[in-house]
Amino acid sequence: MKIYTKTGDKGTTALFGGTRVKKYNLRIESYGTVDELNSYIGLIKDQEISKIAKNSLLRIQNDLFTLGAMLATPPEKETLKSGKERLNIPKIDENSILFLENEIDRMDEILPQMTHFILPGGHQAVSFCHIARCVCRRSERLSVALNDEETINNDIIKYLNRLSDYLFTLARKLSLDFQVDEIKWMPEKN
């Protein structure tokens, strides 16, 4: 398979199922941002972090590929004329969301109670988590906007919402692991 096809040289790309759209199409922005998020998660995974965190992040990366494929499939192309599903892969579902919730709960059990907002930073791996969290939130916003235009699977939005919570909790857990202080946001009084 060649890397370059030249089919996008005029500013269009194909969705799953063959429909061609402009590269700035909201559907393309949505799954393109998921791809960006996946790259940042790879960056976190490449840090000196626990095997448990690395394994969780690998599963999340696989889930994000699935989620991207779901976003790349317009509703009218989800099934073939025979009624068979065109995208023949496991989908993001309640089990995917439950995995994130369980991971959040597992980490949260050992974290100190949060009493203030926390400023990003303290360690490079922690900062990467916060960057990924922000990209995840952007991906969620784009997916919600796409859903307003054409319905997408609601588990996609739930998953992205929960993933941003996971990334925030992971940042806190890594602060604990690396023994760096969380910097509380304390608004200055005038």
Task: Tell me the CA distances in angstroms from 135 to 22, 26, 65, 126, one per residue in order.
Answer: 22, 16, 15, 15
42-91: per-residue pLDDT in tens? 999 999 999 999 999 999 999 999 999 999 887 776 666 666 666 777 89
**All domains in the chain, ordered by first residue:** 15-75+89-181 (1.20.1200.10)
Amino acid identity, position 27: R
> Of 69, 60, 161, 176, which is closest to residue 112 (Cα–Cα)?
176
Contacts of 76 (CB under 8 A, 6+ apart): 17
48-58: per-residue pLDDT in tens? 999 999 999 99
pTM: 0.89
